[in-house]
Amino acid sequence: MRPDVTICINPNNNNSKKTDPIVQKNQELGAILEVSKVLTSSFDLEKNLSLVMSTLGNLLDMQRGCVFLLDPLSQHLRIVAAHGLTRQSIEKGKYRIGEGIVGRVLEKRTPMVIPNIGEDPKFLNKTGSRPSKDGISFLCVPIQLKRKGLGVISVDRIYSKEHGKVDDDLRVLEIVSSLIAQFVKLWESYEEVEKEKESLKRELKGKYNIENVIGQSPRMQEVFEAVYRVSPSKASVLLRGESGTGKELIAKAVHYMSPRSQKPFIKFNCASIPEGLLESELFGHEKGAFTGAISSRSGKFELADKGTIFLDEIGDLPITLQPKILRVLQEREFERVGSEKTMKVDVRIIAATSRNLENLVSAGKYREDLYFRLNVIPLFLPPLRDREDDIPVLIDYFLHKFNKENNRSVSLDKGALQVFLTYNWPGNVRELENTIERLVIMSGTENITAKDLPVSLSIRRVKSADSSVSLTSSVEEIERSNIIDALEKTGWVQAKAAKILGITPRQIGYKIRKYSLVQDELL
């Protein structure tokens, strides 16, 4: 919490005559109205209180005024806003509770009036703003809310018949002090809320960081948040994204942030093994099950029991093997090749693919029921070209890594970095990593410039306005075609078509309107 408040004010115009009580009352009401407007204009404490001081000085002929805040830690009053004081005088204006008139008003919670400060030894004049104190009256009013002292308003005044009565000024100052007290408490509440918001932002920013996965961009933060949400569950996860976007790293993150973290994490690439050996690799085999099976062997699912199995490139799984994967997903059971004994496993499946499974389902090359079983929790990993904010961070990480491995100190200048930022990175993070490793190892200089980069980076697949338009057009054509295929397959039942596409009925309705799809026109 910030300090409580005290205000000091001095007359601004000694030549003003207020002999008419009605005129004087109107000025007082006008000043109070202006103070109210100022205090509700924003939550900028010092700015608002400074404007309050100027308003009182201009409208009520007060030459000098100050606002003191009580610091709850040091228990000292300090000037936070002033009218008619220099910066040097403001810095000198500090009081302890009970010290001088200002400190005593805060301590006693009652107003005080000093008819002539030159004749009162209790008036300390710490700011040094009154070289001649004779003839100056001093008004001091506490700022308090529910009897809690927040500060003080103090005012210098030279009284004559033209300047009204002290009771009038005290009444105005007490009203203003009440308005300020309410503003200060609202400001304190506002500051607490803002600090809490910033704390939560920092907490979330720190929370959605995953070890060994670099990503500060909004797109990656969305992925990280999804990982935190899905990890504690038992649900199957389908990682979607282009090759090289880091699907295996995210799969490991889901596993190691789950209750299964102490159990095995088994990874298997469905596209790396010949079709004839896939079943044996996944489910194991018995001795003599086929030529070369000289002993029994456990498959990947057995090895992953109680843990997680990561099936990469699940879109390349042969359709003949898909029913057995579906059975494991549904029943958690299978048989080894060459065995009739059913084996039970408790395994979580995380699958990944860079292929369009919806097109494969539509073409009859992928089982629809398997697709739905895999697609319980889809996570989409953005390509590197859509997360440009992460490119400099990734470059720094890979430079540090490969410099350390190769005892080098290679760096990129601004020109080279710009080339990296404008390149389209079709191979995504994997391509970036390989490029940095090649540069560190093969570069003959420690400072790499744009002319030292491979020609492919500056010529091949560089982003441009034309290429982005053509890419967008291609994506939209593919999307439109997929939607039409799904609608035709389901007899234009939007809910079923949305299910095939892995989107919501609301989303497919939006897409149908976007592409102006009408059933009769397409038949």
Within-domain flag for 445: yes
Same domain as 250, residue 337? yes
Within-domain flag for 489: yes
Within-domain flag for 204: no
Q: CATH code at 488?
A: 1.10.10.60
Q: Look at phi and psi of residue 447 and say left if phi exceeds 0, alpha if psi is from -120 to 50, else beta.
A: beta
Beta carbons of 85 and 127 less than 8 angstroms apart = yes
Same domain as 451, residue 491? no
**pLDDT, tens digit (0-9, with 9 covering 90-100), for 299-355:** 999 999 999 999 999 999 999 999 999 999 999 999 998 888 999 999 999 999 999
The pLDDT score that the predictor gives to residue 496 is 83
Strand-pair partners of 337: 285
Q: Give the 3-state secondary structure of residue 245.
A: coil
Please report which helix (H) or strand (E) contains residue 172, including its range: helix 166-207
DSSP 346: -
Same domain as 282, residue 236? yes
The pLDDT score that the predictor gives to residue 327 is 94
Which of 463, 480, 498 is the endpoint of a domain? 463
Which of 380, 401, 421 is the endpoint of a domain? 380
How many CB atoms are closer than 10 A to CB 303? 15
The pLDDT score that the predictor gives to residue 408 is 92
The pLDDT score that the predictor gives to residue 233 is 92
Which of 463, 487, 511 is the endpoint of a domain? 463
Same domain as 92, residue 48? yes
The pLDDT score that the predictor gives to residue 198 is 72
Q: CATH code at 69?
A: 3.30.450.40
The pLDDT score that the predictor gives to residue 494 is 87
Sequence-distant (6+) residues with CB within 8 A of 139 are: 111, 112, 113, 154, 155, 157, 166, 169, 170, 173
Please report which helix (H) or strand (E) contains residue 442, including its range: helix 428-442
Same domain as 395, residue 353? no
The pLDDT score that the predictor gives to residue 15 is 43
Same domain as 178, residue 249? no
Sequence-distant (6+) residues with CB within 8 A of 493 are: none
Rounded Cα–Cα distance for residues 371 and 491 (Å):
20
The parent domain of residue 38 ranges over: 6-191
Same domain as 283, residue 270? yes
Number of domain units in the chain: 4
Same domain as 365, residue 402? no
Rounded Cα–Cα distance for residues 318 and 343 (Å):
22
Within-domain flag for 99: yes
Same domain as 480, residue 434? no
Sequence-distant (6+) residues with CB within 8 A of 198 are: none
The pLDDT score that the predictor gives to residue 192 is 86
Nearest to 424 by CA among 478, 466, 393: 466
Alpha helices, DSSP H, located in 2-99: 21-39, 45-59, 87-92
The pLDDT score that the predictor gives to residue 346 is 94
The pLDDT score that the predictor gives to residue 1 is 47
Same domain as 165, residue 279? no
Within-domain flag for 1: no
Q: Give the 3-state secondary structure of residue 323.
A: helix
Within-domain flag for 389: yes
Helices (H) and strands (E) in the chain, counts: 20, 16
Q: Tokens 């810095």 — which residue?
A: 91
Within-domain flag for 213: no
Label the pairing between strands 333-335 and 377-380: unpaired
Same domain as 393, residue 504? no
Same domain as 404, residue 284? no
Within-domain flag for 440: yes
Q: CATH code at 328?
A: 3.40.50.300
The pLDDT score that the predictor gives to residue 127 is 63
**pLDDT, tens digit (0-9, with 9 covering 90-100), for 469-508:** 444 455 566 677 778 877 877 888 888 888 777 678 888 8
Q: 3-class secondary structure for 421-434?
A: HHECCCCHHHHHHH
pLDDT in tens, the chain (523 residues): 455 554 555 444 444 444 567 777 777 788 888 888 888 888 888 888 888 888 887 776 677 788 888 888 888 888 888 887 888 888 777 888 888 888 888 888 888 888 776 666 666 566 655 555 556 778 889 988 888 888 998 887 765 545 556 677 788 888 888 898 899 889 888 888 888 877 665 555 545 557 778 888 888 988 998 999 999 999 999 999 999 999 999 999 999 999 999 999 999 999 888 888 888 899 988 888 787 778 888 999 999 999 999 999 999 999 999 999 999 999 999 999 888 899 999 999 999 999 999 999 999 999 999 999 999 999 999 999 999 889 999 999 999 999 999 999 999 998 889 889 888 898 899 999 999 999 999 988 899 988 888 877 754 444 443 444 444 455 566 677 778 877 877 888 888 888 777 678 888 888 888 888 876 554 4
- Residue 160, token pair as written in the block: 């004559």
